[in-house]
Structure 1
Amino acid sequence: MKRSFLFASNAAFLLLLAACTTNPVTGKKQVSLMSESQEVALGQQSDPQVIAQFGLVENPALQRFIQDKGQKMAAISHRPELKYEFKIVDSPVINAFAVPGGYVYFTRGIMAHFNNEAQFAGVLGHEIGHITARHSAQQQTKATFGQLLLIGGMIASPQLAQYGEQAMQGLQVLFLKFGRDDERESDRLGVEYSTKIGYDAKQMADFFLTLQREQEKASAGAEPIPSFLSSHPNPEDRYNTVKQLAAETQQQVGATNLAVGRDSYLRMIEGLIYGEDPKQGFVENNTFYHPELKFQFSVPTGWKHQNSPQQFQMAAPDGKAMMLLTLAPGESLEAAAQQMVQQFKLQPVESKQVTVNSFPALAIVADQVADQQQQQPQQQQQQAPAVRTLIYLIQDGKTIYAMIGASSGPDFATYFPTFSSSMQNFRRLTDADKLNRQPERVRIKSVTSATTLSQALTRFQVPNDRLEETAILNGMQLTDRLTAGTLIKVVAK
């Protein structure tokens, strides 16, 4: 056993020596199992998937803005030779992310929450920093080596193999430290890069206060995630650190007259869609409506739900059942059923042709059983399946929708009425109010006289229950004083 463990350890050590590269940011040697060409290939492969998942924001001016600023910043970065792409994707979530090889994405949700160009530039530099410092490549390398050494230990010790899952979880917690370090390094690079192209990086720190307030709003009533178990440093900690880094960087380079670009940025995001876009589907009074595809169905009371351009997901409050709606491949119901069964490795129990509010449909009950059950003779498989599903394939012209409900085998009878009720409620959307529902948009208003933010928002007819939300959107407190001519955001259709 010792010989086996030593062999695995030596193999890992030799692989480590062969994979040493120089980090472009630090100049230090580090282990990386992903070459630059592999990074580029991964980015090229991932980009179409990201665009398919979210879609691009249809705003040429904003797309030019992120591309222009991104290319300018990439040129002064530690890896200017990469071919960078910068895009704004159609998601209301406040997020920005980077893919290895030079691909950077901002959501329209985060674009709506920036209050000047300098905040945008700081986060842009942060995401470019993840690419230049090869953080994604490093995380993959750490995961690979962790798994290799763990497997070596399992070979050497059957006792350790019994706790393989727990050991893997331990490794993930161990590598969270690297995630936090990566975020701090990217914050530093965000300060450096945005300062080099002439922006005041202190504004990036102010944006972390907006993130903190959004985090508090989202987790109201829930226990906050401890900062030491988070892959991102606490927003308040980041605020203090970035403020200090910005001051030190500006002093070192002798930077003066750094740009903020508040009014120019606010005017640029005028009309940007805020929150969910109704044309992609929305929930109201326990019903999901899709104006563009012209259908609706009921959402079980109390179930949580999440919408994306590719699918609509629902989950029971106890987490024991889920449903989703998505498009099914295939030119006929039978072809779609065959592909779905193969894709999810299901064993059909029964199926029948039905009609759902004038739509032809196929109803299927199918099991997804554990591997060991599949290997047993059929007569021995008396226990309940690992997962049982109810699938309704519903055809509307050339389009086939798949509504899938799933739970554990023992719980299926409990949730079957809920599954079938939602699926049989699928119908044509004809309500003009729902079909013509318009999205909320960011509107820029000018304050006519000195006042507080709260008073100004009230004058612009912002409802009382949305005053705090709008204050966060503006990166201000409701008690902040405004001078005449100050531009602020409101949300309106």
Structure 2
Amino acid sequence: MAVTFPDLNEPLTMLSSAVTTSRHFARALTAFGLLSLGGCITTVVTPEAETSAGQAMSQQVSEQIGLYDDPELTAYVRSVGERLTAGLVDSPYKFQFAVVDQFEPNAFASPGGFIYISRGLLSQMNSEDELACVLAHEISHVTQRHHVRQMGRSLGTGLLTLPGRAVGVVSDDLGNMINSPIEHAGKVYLSGYSRDQETEADEYGLRLAAKTGYDPEALAGALEGIERTLFLLTGEHHEANYMDTHPTTPQRVADIETTIAKLTYTTTAPIATRTQLYQHLDGIWWGPQNPQQGIFLEDRFLSTDMDFTIAFPSGWETINTPRFVGATETEKEGAYMALGANPGEFTPDGYAAALITRMRERGGIEPDQTRPLKIGEWPAHLVTYTDASGEEPVSMHYVFLATPRGSYTMMALGLDQFRPQMREAVMSMRPLTSAERASVTGIRLRTATIGPGETLESWTERLDSRWGPKFSASMNGLEEDHTGTGEVLKYAREERYQGQ
């Protein structure tokens, strides 16, 4: 969690945005992301309509996955993308390139020219040619307007499962921002591509890469390297990954080779050599958790930058997005909790008053209690509601609090039987201890020279790398029996996060 909720002139809008699980988020993504695209469907979908749809998804990507915080790396990716798009003829799209804060190897495009590549996929790149071929493939999905052919598909939706009139008031506002922390963002679009569309994107992408001075043969090598790395990571990565939507099948490799055989091209000097590319990648957070966004240690969330920790109920499914951090009870899907930062300047009492007014106006609902309190040394205000209009009573608890680092809102919504667990979690929020601050670590990609004649096994042992020799070979595009010649390679180590 690193950014704020929307403007809290109407705080219920923000709070309601956070009450769902990962699965509910994914369903809502289709409901509010793709249905908004469906609204653009007319007899002819114009490039302007595509761009408008892409801008909406761009906002979702920023808010639910998050953009990776590395301006120099982003500028480099943008420069490669701009070199590619300079080779397009009369394109109506203004392309934009960004790095998303996602560990899974992934790249995707939204309508109108928004191209994304994950930090996980970037860490696997071993030449600018590989990066250019991946970006050119995504650019080609846009120029060939593959999204337009998917935009009219209707997809089902389901939101909150809890009963009651007050819950209905809350769920009315869910469309403002509920989405999955878009591990699924690229997959939602890419999984709809046909085999012919993927082949077409390969063909046009390879032509574009070659036209702009890149080696198109790098595409097959990049895909095979990604596939090999994902195989080595089996059991350690999420379901959404690049190879789910871009499989390296024998037919695909054959098609790539056939296309390349027809091309006449001359490669030119890259913007960055292999060594310079590695310099751009040096320092990228590589693991599943990026400590810039805070981390979970089992059920406890810790944020160095915001200097707080909170323990969610044991066994609940946790979630961490740029907009909020939360948890859901999974056995009955009977309770949800979410904590997010407030961008406004209200006091906790002010936020509470605004919430009470909104609930009264929207649903004629009055709180069970409203009172100021302290969470540790932090001033806070608690507002609770009980909705007994459904089959089972539902408790809703809102806590607004101010800390030296910012203003936050905690929402807990659930069946009455989960009230004690929700209360305990809310009251567990407090500043980090020095020991907890030191425990916030992450895995970081670094670079180092492998000595002449040195094996990957001895090199990884010398550096205490988190990657063994087999995985190091895959991440560096080498054979496992590689011996050094004095070149620079990538490795990974655990580092304490010092904060921003």
Which one of 369, 382, 386 corresponds to residue 363 of structure 1? Answer: 382
Partner of 1:315: 328
Which one of 260, 264, 286 corresponds to residue 274 of structure 1? Answer: 286
* 1:351 maps to 2:369: yes
Which one of 390, 393, 408 corresponds to residue 397 of structure 2? Answer: 390
Opposite residue 474 of structure 1, the aligned amino acid is N
Count matched residues: 416
Mapping for residues 66-215 of structure 1, pairs under 5 Å: 66-77=77-88, 80-143=91-154, 178-179=193-194, 181-213=196-228, 215=230
* Matches of 2:219 and 2:386, distance apart in 1: 51
Offset at 1:326? 0.8
Partner of 2:447: 444
* Matches of 1:362 and 1:251, distance apart in 2: 68
After superposition, give the CA deviation of every residue in 1:300-331 in whole Å (9 maximum; x if it has no partner). 33333332322113234536243221124651
TM-score norm. by structure 1 comes to: 0.71
* Matches of 2:376 and 2:79, distance apart in 1: 51
* Matches of 1:127 and 1:267, distance apart in 2: 25
Summarize the Cα distance change of 1:241–1:117 in structure 2 as closer, same or farther, 3 Å threshold: farther
Partner of 1:42: 53
After superposition, give the CA deviation of every residue in 1:170-213 in whole Å (9 maximum; x if it has no partner). xxx9x966455444432333322222222223322233334435
* Matches of 1:314 and 1:116, distance apart in 2: 40
* Matches of 2:59 and 2:486, distance apart in 1: 43
Offset at 1:124? 0.3
Summarize the Cα distance change of 1:55–1:37 in structure 2 as closer, same or farther, 3 Å threshold: same
* Matches of 1:142 and 1:32, distance apart in 2: 15
After superposition, give the CA deviation of every residue in 1:378-423 in whole Å (9 maximum; x if it has no partner). xxx46325x643333223269432222334x3xx40x222222211
Offset at 1:337? 3.7
Partner of 1:246: 256
Deviates more, 1:453-462 or 1:325-334: 325-334
Summarize the Cα distance change of 1:42–1:335 in structure 2 as closer, same or farther, 3 Å threshold: farther
SS across alignment from 1:139: coil
SS across alignment from 2:368: strand
SS across alignment from 1:137: coil
Structure number with greater CO (CA < 8 Å, separation at least 6) is 2
* Matches of 2:139 and 2:92, distance apart in 1: 13
* Matches of 1:343 and 1:96, distance apart in 2: 41
Which one of 411, 419, 444 corresponds to residue 404 of structure 1? Answer: 411
Offset at 1:37? 1.6
* Matches of 1:219 and 1:319, distance apart in 2: 29
SS across alignment from 2:397: strand
Opposite residue 123 of structure 1, the aligned amino acid is V
* Matches of 2:267 and 2:94, distance apart in 1: 31
Deviates more, 1:394-403 or 1:100-109: 394-403
Contact (CA 8 Å) 1:446, 1:487: kept in 2 or not? yes
Partner of 1:324: 338
Contact (CA 8 Å) 1:183, 1:233: kept in 2 or not? no
Opposite residue 99 of structure 1, the aligned amino acid is S
TM-score norm. by structure 2 comes to: 0.70
* Matches of 2:477 and 2:337, distance apart in 1: 37
Contact (CA 8 Å) 1:348, 1:367: kept in 2 or not? no
Which one of 421, 427, 431 corresponds to residue 424 of structure 1? Answer: 427
Offset at 1:103? 1.9
Summarize the Cα distance change of 1:49–1:343 in structure 2 as closer, same or farther, 3 Å threshold: farther
Partner of 1:454: 457
Offset at 1:251? 2.0
Offset at 1:434? 0.9
Contact (CA 8 Å) 1:70, 1:124: kept in 2 or not? yes
Contact (CA 8 Å) 2:395, 2:419: kept in 1 or not? no
After superposition, give the CA deviation of every residue in 1:269-328 in whole Å (9 maximum; x if it has no partner). 222333333242122364211111111111333333332322113234536243221124
Summarize the Cα distance change of 1:218–1:365 in structure 2 as closer, same or farther, 3 Å threshold: farther
Offset at 1:115? 1.7
Contact (CA 8 Å) 1:183, 1:232: kept in 2 or not? no
Q: Indicate the percent of aligned positions where both proteins have the same amino acid.
A: 24
Which one of 473, 476, 480 corresponds to residue 475 of structure 2? Answer: 473
Contact (CA 8 Å) 1:118, 1:203: kept in 2 or not? yes
* Matches of 2:478 and 2:386, distance apart in 1: 53
Partner of 1:236: 248
Offset at 1:455? 3.2
Which has the larger helix fraction?
Answer: 1
* Matches of 2:456 and 2:69, distance apart in 1: 31
SS across alignment from 2:314: coil
Summarize the Cα distance change of 1:398–1:200 in structure 2 as closer, same or farther, 3 Å threshold: closer
Contact (CA 8 Å) 1:85, 1:102: kept in 2 or not? yes
Partner of 2:33: none
Partner of 1:63: 74
After superposition, give the CA deviation of every residue in 1:52-95 in whole Å (9 maximum; x if it has no partner). 55555454443332222212211323653422222234444433
SS across alignment from 1:490: strand
Contact (CA 8 Å) 2:63, 2:321: kept in 1 or not? no
Q: For structure 2, which runs of at least 5 residues remain unmatched after alignment?
A: 1-40, 158-187, 496-500
* Matches of 1:177 and 1:190, distance apart in 2: 19
